[in-house]
Homo-oligomer: A and B are copies of this chain.
């Protein structure tokens, strides 16, 4: 019987691990609670009407259709038994128990509100396709409500968008909301000028894009200011409700901003599977729930269990796609070497291929060691990198078409929203 590998999660970590096992004498089972592989770095473009959900989330089983040794299961993992070596998952009220010889846990991260779970309903995060479509409906819906609002203050609140978190996701969301207000929606409304929309980018730290070099982050901040994003630093969010957000400044004073639309891009927390693993192994967890692994990405005392991707804590590596891809690949490589009789653990060495963030139309920042690029050249690099990493030729072609529409023209093709909840939503105001 072939060696059985179970992969939990179909993100970058899970996908790259599975793909690398293609020629190995193994049986891979990928378990995920969605049916797609999600290209998470572009979720903000689905939320802001540039890309369709299909373009960044191809069906995982279609991506793997030619890999005969892999199967995909739609289910939610509810248990991992490291002694019995089984993974339990639930779907349709039924429990599936899948035995493994090697396990790769790539379950990723969710949104955290730092103890304020009550913020969730009014300030959605951006981690899934459902999140992105919900935010799309809220953002475009807010402009619809503004058109109908006779009261100037209330209209102002519909036209104020507060993005919490100055990392790449928050920066990209804020930049795109500003761009769609000023360019895409031009001429669309009769009772107000969408260019008057106010976009707040709120971060508790002293600057945005803390993971980038200060000079590059400063250039990004200047570009955001140029397109109309208001950056508020050194402020902690202490209150969120349907109509406003409250920010406590470092000094202790509080500002309350009337804002109907809030986006939470501030905190990520590990999948609860991390805690489940920790309880059984004594593995340590970071404060955000990440699992501390040995330098070969395995759990202490469990050389058959790998934790990769955002869930993995190893040497302070950041929770970015590139780390997940390489760690997934590394875990698969170690399994392949073991099957060939070489069971010596191999250290995971991360090759930093640089980080990049798109700030506005035709303006991105790129950092690779000492190389720092910003502006239009950075944006071209961003474009090439994202086209390269999008899964599938079809999606690349579709995304390219939509980027031409949005970045050369001013339109956005994917503004369509479900209004099922929208007509009632204003009621909360």
Contacts and interface: CB of A to CB of B under 8 A. Distances in A.
Given A92-B423, A93-B426, A188-B59, A414 B54 contact: yes
A330 to B, nearest CB: 26
A19 B398 CA distance: 30
A135 to B, nearest CB: 14
Contacts of A34: 419
Interface stretch (A1-9, A144-152, A204-212, A266-274): A144-152
A59 B91 contact: no
Chain A, interface residues (CB within 8 Å), range: 35 or more
A361 interface: no
B35 A417 contact: yes
Interface stretch (A70-78, A285-293, A306-314): A70-78
A183 to B, nearest CB: 12
A62 interface: yes
A90 B426 CA distance: 11
Contact of A401 (B36, B186, B398): B398
Contacts of A191: 71
Interface string A47-66: 00100111101110110011
Contacts of A414: 52-54
A416 B130 contact: no
Contact of A416 (B33, B54, B61, B73): B54
Interface in A177-205: 186-191
Interface in A8-55: 33-36, 49, 52-55
A92 B427 contact: yes
A112 interface: no
A343 interface: no
A405 to B, nearest CB: 5
A238 interface: no
Contacts of A53: 52, 414, 416
B411 A62 contact: yes
Nearest to A429: B92
Contacts of A94: 148, 426
A176 to B, nearest CB: 16
Nearest to A74: B144
A19 B66 CA distance: 49
A140 interface: yes
A395 interface: yes
Contacts of A279: none
Contact of A92 (B57, B91, B145, B397): B145
A96 interface: yes
A418 B73 contact: no
A138 interface: no
B66 A187 contact: yes
A402 interface: yes
Interface in A399-429: 401-402, 405, 409, 411, 413-420, 422-427, 429
A247 B57 CA distance: 38
Contacts of A73: 147-148
Nearest to A36: B416
A416 B92 contact: no
Interface in A105-119: none
A47 to B, nearest CB: 13
A297 interface: no
A129 interface: yes
Given A35-B140, A73-B147, A129-B418, 9 more contacts: A35-B416, A52-B416, A59-B140, A76-B423, A91-B426, A92-B427, A93-B426, A129-B416, A398-B402
Interface of A: 33-36, 49, 52-55, 57-59, 61-62, 65-66, 71-76, 90-94, 96, 129-130, 133, 140-141, 144-145, 147-148, 186-191, 394-395, 397-398, 401-402, 405, 409, 411, 413-420, 422-427, 429
5 contacts: A52-B52, A72-B147, A93-B424, A94-B426, A129-B418
